[in-house]
Amino acid sequence: MTRAGLALALALLAALPARAAEFDLLRFFEGASVSRGTIRTLFVFREDFEARFEGVRESDGTLRLDERFRFADGDRLQRWRLLRQGEALSGTVQTEGSDGQLGVPVPVTGTQGSDGVVLDYHGRAPGGGNTVFHFRHRITGNGDGTATNRVSVRKFGLPLARSLVTFAKRAADLPPRQP
The count of residues in the chain is 179
| Distance separating alpha carbons of residues 90 and 82, to the nearest angstrom | 6
Domains and CATH numbers, the chain: 21-173 (2.40.128.20)
Q: Is the dihedral of CA 22, 27, 32, 36 positive or negative?
A: positive
Q: Is the dihedral of CA 171, 43, 45, 72 positive or negative?
A: negative
Helix H or strand E encompassing 11: helix 3-15
In this prediction, residue 23 carries a pLDDT of: 86
Q: What is the pLDDT along the chain (179 residues), one digit of tens a residue?
A: 555 444 444 444 444 444 445 789 999 999 999 999 999 999 789 999 999 999 999 999 999 999 999 988 889 999 999 999 999 999 999 999 988 999 999 999 999 998 899 999 999 999 888 899 999 999 999 999 999 999 999 999 999 999 999 999 999 999 887 66
- pTM for the full predicted model: 0.85
